[in-house]
Amino acid sequence: MRANLRAVRLAAPGKAELPPDAERTRKAAYFNLHALGVSVALPGPGQCSPLTKASACKAPVYGCGAKWTEHGSGGGSSGAAVNLALSEQAAALGKLAQGTEDTVARPKRGVLLGIEGSPPREKMPSSLVLTEEEAEVFTGPCARHSEWSCGSSAAVRGAADTCRARAGGCDGGVMDCPSALRCSEEACAEAERSPSPAVRAEQQLAWQTVDRCGTEPLPHTSCSVVLADACLGLVGVVCETSTVARDGKVLEKTSPEVGEVWLQRTEP
């Protein structure tokens, strides 16, 4: 473990001569720490606390936790998040640190793998999504978008086009052509009264789509902090995403993804 911590320090941003593969070196060290089972304890929703100090740094990184949720008419996602900063006052800024376990909006300044690039503005915390779980998709919107109708049927349109070609004498659109409008209405009525094999196939596919709606496996992402070094201004993060069946069984896991959050540096 010491070798990985030393690798991060040697490849930390801000040095006069930084090797071109410094970021890759840091992320490889984060990955190795995760493989070794290293995980920094983080505050729960509504709580703020200093994180475990890095071995070579006297100052801690501070965190404030919260729940978050983001729902729309067709479903949504929710999870846990944490504000990270170099002071408790800064970590407590923003919607994430409300001092309660109330659900808040999904953090806008953070992403699953942290924030890479330039450090955030002075005294502003970085929001990091720790878990993200897709909510069950509501079947109503699914049904509205997937149910069969004459207007969405290629078979009905084909029958109407054939009728229109036979009628002839009209180059305008359906609303400008009585024969075309009549053909569309007749094709729809025939499909509803006595569906052709093509129409039946479309209807069957639509029914299957509605049946699957809200029952397919959902992704679940979980992130852990493997290093929080206030002196370097770095927080190493490793995230894993699983596909989980409705009964809770894990069907598939993706390879761990590694990222980092940049904070302002402090003196060792």
pTM of the predicted protein model:
0.61
Mean pLDDT over the full length of the chain: 75
Confidence label for 101 from pLDDT (cuts 50, 70 and 90): very low
Is the CA virtual torsion 19, 86, 33, 119 positive or negative?
negative
Over residues 208-217, the pLDDT tens digits come to 776 666 566 6
Amino acid in the structure at residue 42? L
Over residues 223-239, the pLDDT tens digits come to 889 999 999 988 998 88
The answer to whether residues 256 and 31 touch, using CB atoms and an 8 Å cutoff, is: yes
Over residues 166-178, the pLDDT tens digits come to 877 665 555 557 7
Query: What is the predicted pLDDT for the residue at 85?
Result: 86
Residue ranges of domains in the chain: 2-138+218-262, 139-212
